[in-house]
Amino acid sequence: MTDDRALGPVDTSHLLLPIHRELVRLLRALEPEQWLLPTTAGSWRVRDVAAHLLDGQLRRLSFQRDRLSRQDAPADQEYASVLRFINGLNARWVDASQHLSGRVLTDLLETAGVQAATFLAALPPHEPAFWPVAWAGEARSENWMDVGRDYTEYWHHQQQIRDAVGAPGLVEARWLAPVVALGVRAVAPALAGVARPDGTSLRLVVSGDAGGRWRFVRESGAWRLEDDGSTAHAQATLRIDAPAVARLWYSGRGPRAASDDVAREGDRELCDAVLAARAVMV
């Protein structure tokens, strides 16, 4: 389990159906040419991102709910092995989905999404998760974290579609606050490669209704995440607004893509490691 449980769980189970309905409503309104628009998800177009979301729902229902066995799954759970496996699944599905129309994709998404959201919302939050959240550095996770990971996937891929078609983003605190609160758990793994003496600390201040304050402290050669209620001196402080940090963490872009509103104080390498954290499998 994560060492950051003192922060408390982030409950997203009540948001799964509402954010799913937002996606279906968006897709139903698209014109045929909008399905072919490019997105920030590499070479994927709008239709490919939608197909990927459908794939995630069907995998969740098949593997976890229905206990489908995958003989080709990696024997080990090393990050690189799991990433190769997932990337292969993603590519094969998106390729096969080229034979599906936007309407068919949406119809399938609407049905599978309700089933997946209902299934995930009913999981006991503190029981062991079916899949660990590797980007948070977890070899084992609790259900609330895995459900939260699913929510953030839905949020950031829907953002990619919204950006591509010029639709308003889901940046209200209701949607964005849990995205930030979960994404911050990717920062300690990103800091792991930045060696500093024990006792070194970094303060992260995310502004706005969806933000918060956190501190990362170096202890016994590792970085620990905690809520920042301290007035103690920190060797570095990073200030950034919630939409900007969410786009960085969930798009996988590095520090150069940061908003002009980013303010760094003190140790710049520590600040840049926060901006380079990735709350996705990349």
More confidently predicted of 164 and 2: 164
Q: Does 244 lie in the same domain as 129?
A: no
Q: Which of 138, 170, 202 is the last residue of a domain?
A: 170
Q: Does 210 lie in the same domain as 136?
A: no
**For residues 90-113, average pLDDT:** 93
Q: Does 194 lie in the same domain as 165?
A: no
Q: Does 48 lie in the same domain as 132?
A: yes
Domain-embedded: residue 188? yes
249: its two tokens = 């963490």
Q: Does 136 lie in the same domain as 41?
A: yes
Domain-embedded: residue 178? no
Nearest partner of 184 among 235, 229, 245, 253, judged by Cα: 245
Question: In the predicted model, is pLDDT for residue 83 greater than 80?
Answer: no
* Residue 4's pLDDT band (cuts 50, 70, 90): very low
Question: Can you give the pLDDT at residue 255?
Answer: 43
Q: Which of 170, 201, 221 is the last residue of a domain?
A: 170
Residue 215 sits in a domain of what CATH number? Answer: 3.30.1050.10
Q: Does 145 lie in the same domain as 55?
A: yes
User: Which region among 10-24, 42-56, 215-229, 250-264 has the lowest average model confidence (pLDDT)?
Assistant: 250-264
Q: Does 159 lie in the same domain as 58?
A: yes
**For residues 263-267, average pLDDT:** 95
CB atoms within 10 A of CB 5: 11
Pairing of strands 201-207, 236-241: parallel
pLDDT digits (tens, 9 = 90+) for 184-208: 999 999 999 999 999 999 999 999 9
Domain-embedded: residue 179? no
Domain-embedded: residue 177? no
Q: Does 205 lie in the same domain as 130?
A: no
* Residue 152's pLDDT band (cuts 50, 70, 90): very high
Q: Does 46 lie in the same domain as 153?
A: yes
- Domain span at residue 246? 184-276
Residue 106 sits in a domain of what CATH number? Answer: 1.20.120.450
Q: Does 208 lie in the same domain as 123?
A: no
Q: Does 120 lie in the same domain as 232?
A: no
pLDDT digits (tens, 9 = 90+) for 108-129: 999 999 999 999 999 999 999 9
Question: Can you give the pLDDT at residue 84?
Answer: 78
Looking at residue 70, its amino acid is: R
CA 126 to chain centre: 20
Domain-embedded: residue 18? yes
Domain-embedded: residue 176? no
Domain count, the chain: 2
Q: Which of 137, 170, 203 is the last residue of a domain?
A: 170
Question: Can you give the pLDDT at residue 256?
Answer: 45
Q: Does 131 lie in the same domain as 196?
A: no
Report field, pTM of the whole predicted structure over 0.75? yes
